[in-house]
Structure 1
Amino acid sequence: ARTRLQAQAFWEMVAFLLNGFIFIMIGLQLPGILRNLSHEPLSRLTTYGLLISATVVLVRVAWVFPATYLPRWLSPKLRARDPIPPWQHSVLIAWAGMRGVVSLAAAFALPLLLPNGERFPGRSYILFLTFCVILATLVFQGLTLPVLIRKLKIQDDGSVDREERDARLQANEAAVDFIEQKALEEHFPEEVMVRVRAEYCDRIEQLNVCCEETGNPGGVIATPIYQRLQRGALQVERRTIIALRDSQKISDDALRRIQRDLDLAEARLAGA
């Protein structure tokens, strides 16, 4: 478990650094590309960039709708297993086609020289147009995406939250069955069995209470109110243990152990 947590944090940091490095490369490469295209008027280059960007967006829109509806119209089995989504969802998917690292990596993969030693034809044009497409989709589509979601009145149906809640409920119930079985097979101290059983039973009770909360029809495990209250409680815990350390009632080692548990609890809350 500890290795998995560390690996997840490590790869998140690697992905963040690589994304940052790629866009730093854009800034470093763009002046040289513009120098190579200095013989072209800037207005023409801008027009080409806008036309290619618009083409990329329109091609995605034209592809998403047939790919979404045509297979379901032709296959009753697919339609029964995966019903036709509302048209608003298809519009959102069609608009959310931002380009980034993959497009840039494909453009940079073009060689500088051909096998005969000549410069690769049009490489600067391709890189410039790729930069334009990335800028247009990330900035224009990315900034207009929240507005589009509000205009289409798209809301989370809570299906993932329900799946997570059901999975957690089944996992905790299976753990309780395991504890009951171990209690019969082996002679563990009664107080240990009671404490472990009570922990899992409390989790099951909380999961069942989720669906009964007002304003939580999807059974979301951590509602915004729950998260705000829990974060406030965690902050109080932190201030308390720091005050205990400052008054020399606990050592730094004890402080770090408790802080680690609080950090894990807040991380779980952030991922809920």
Structure 2
Amino acid sequence: MTHAFLTFLLVLSVLAASATLARRLQLAPAIVFLLVGGALAFTPGFPPIEMKPEGVLLLVLPPLIYSAGVSMSWREFKFNLRPIAMLAIGCVIFTTCAVAVAVHFALGLSWSVGFLLGAIVSPPDVVAPLAIARRIGLPHRILVVLEGEGLANDATALILYRFAVMAVSTGAFSLSTATGTFAAIVVCEILFGVAVGWLSLRLRQWAHDPRVEITLSLLTPYLAFWVPEHAGGSGVLATVVAGLYVSWNGPLLISAATRLQGIFFWDFATWLIEGVLFLIVGFQTRALVETSKYLHLGTVLSAIAITTAIVIAARFIWVFPGAYLPHLLSKRIRAREERPPWRAIAVVGFTGIRGVVSLAVALALPYTLANGDPFPDRDLILLVSFGVIFITVVGIGGTLPFVSRALGVSEYGNYEARHEREKEIAARRQLVAASRKELNRILKERELPEGLARFLEARHETRVRALPEPPAKEGDFTPATRGAAMVREIIAIERKLLHKLLREGKIADETRRRIERDLDLEEAVVDNREKNSPL
């Protein structure tokens, strides 16, 4: 137990150092985590750290998927459902088949093993592409599509994976049976996810305690995932649906205190899980190299090169017809949506970064078949999966910013961010104007004490003064965030005075905490406005 805890502390230390290094180098954290983990795996004296596939699939995957679902907008998910489904279902199946055909004819692997390998490497990661895409400022709709794809594609891949493992183990496969089972799993998981989301919100309403509510929110993804997974499904789709349900119905049912604390909790939890996962993937490098000694090096390298090339090419082959054919074939789609620019489609095609789920399901492969024979090509599948992950994370993840800038997509994303900021300013002013009308009505209809009336008036005037100025012309505005540095300076002075009063015994610690919380909230508001400003 002590050894495991010390190893955990070591991983956390490496994670913090790697994240700092990534920030200093201005690189995507996933790339640095993977490279640092791989380097440490060969460092003499560094303890071997193994990835437990059941730990990834049953313990850390549910909260990652759920938190992504909660942060996803149901309205935008529904509006972009067609491109999301084309990628999360169509592209995953197409990539699986393409890999199966390539490795069967090029490497001589059996059809069932080829489909198994394809199912493992077909789903892009939900973490790394989005982190890079947000950092380089891709357009909002691309981010929504990528996030929606990352939420749903694991469900498709895991279902295909189960069918493929069954086909390898038994030597039998029925397309009609698999299709019917796939449809039944999708329908049942959607219904179960809605039920779990509804139950979670109702229990949290009854709790009326932020600590209990956050605990219930942590239990929600495990309930949504484990029950369908135990019943033979994937669990991913139910967890996604539960998150989307909470995202759409939660704002009016979750208290402000719970939301403030929950945002911090989930932000830290997802960052910690994602970072540790990519580090652990890197830590597997040494064990995988040891495994490769029992295979012909040329065969391993050829398999990695062919599979990676097919995975990347299949996505490009799929995304362009998938984006343009619906516009050509449907008058309703042409009337509702603009034809997407080819540059944006090319960037979507270039975001096929594979991640920890692919390696986890590869590691979860059984060692033997039902009859006791060794599972065919298990070590080769494992090595190829790791090779595809490494090449796509480092290669595609490292070059995506340059590709995006070269195609001008990041520039459009920055313009879109400025336009969205202008709409945010308009919305803030509209809210304040509406609250002014309601305040006038309340003061007119109710006999309020003079002190309370002055307090409400002063609150409104404070909100008015904090509003950003409307843009003088398109793309030009002077938000209040330009005074953020001065506000922080004033808050810092107040903090020093507050602690001076505490040291002199003029206030109690509890009083200091209450005042300090108000200052923290005010500084958080300033940070939020500055962070979301494109200037």
In structure 2, give the amino acid aligned to 1:258.
I
Match of 1:185 among 445, 463, 478: 445
The aligned length equals 269
1:31-180 alignment runs, 5 A limit: 31-153=286-408, 154-155=410-411, 156=414, 157-158=416-417, 159-180=419-440
Structure having greater relative contact order (Cα 8 Å, sep ≥ 6):
2
In structure 2, give the amino acid aligned to 1:74.
L
**Larger deviation: 95-104 or 228-237?**
228-237
**Corresponding residue of 1:217:** 475
Return the TM-score normalized by structure 2. 0.44
- Residue aligned with 2:328, SS: helix
**Corresponding residue of 2:260:** 5
How far apart are residue 142 of structure 1 and its match? 1.8
Q: How far apart in 2 are the matches of 1:138 and 1:165? A: 37
- Runs (4 or more) in structure 1 with deviation over 6 Å come to none
Identify if the C-alpha distance between structure 1 residues 41 and 71 changes in structure 2 by more than 3 Å, giving closer, same or farther: same
Alignment partner of 1:257 is 2:514: yes
1:122-145 Cα shifts (integer Å, max 9, x gaps): 232222222222222222222222
**Larger deviation: 202-211 or 59-68?**
202-211
Identify if the C-alpha distance between structure 1 residues 226 and 208 changes in structure 2 by more than 3 Å, giving closer, same or farther: closer
Give the aligned CA root-mean-square deviation in angstroms.
Answer: 3.2
Identify if the C-alpha distance between structure 1 residues 200 and 80 changes in structure 2 by more than 3 Å, giving closer, same or farther: farther
**Larger deviation: 111-120 or 3-12?**
111-120
How far apart are residue 170 of structure 1 and its match? 3.5
Q: Percent identity?
A: 34
In structure 1, give the amino acid aligned to 2:341.
P
Q: How far apart in 2 are the matches of 1:163 and 1:252? A: 42
How far apart are residue 209 of structure 1 and its match? 0.8
Identify if the C-alpha distance between structure 1 residues 113 and 20 changes in structure 2 by more than 3 Å, giving closer, same or farther: farther
Greater C-alpha radius of gyration = 1
- Residue aligned with 1:134, SS: helix
How far apart are residue 210 of structure 1 and its match? 4.0
How far apart are residue 255 of structure 1 and its match? 3.4
**Larger deviation: 75-84 or 133-142?**
75-84
Whether the aligned pair in 1 keeps the contact of 2:292 and 2:383 (CA below 8 Å) is no
Q: How far apart in 1 are the matches of 2:386 and 2:480? A: 40
In structure 1, give the amino acid aligned to 2:513.
R
Q: Which runs of 5+ in 2 are unaligned?
A: 1-255
**Corresponding residue of 2:203:** none
Identify if the C-alpha distance between structure 1 residues 17 and 192 changes in structure 2 by more than 3 Å, giving closer, same or farther: same
Identify if the C-alpha distance between structure 1 residues 160 and 128 changes in structure 2 by more than 3 Å, giving closer, same or farther: farther
1:41-77 Cα shifts (integer Å, max 9, x gaps): 4354234323322322222222222222322333343
Q: How far apart in 1 are the matches of 2:457 and 2:340? A: 43
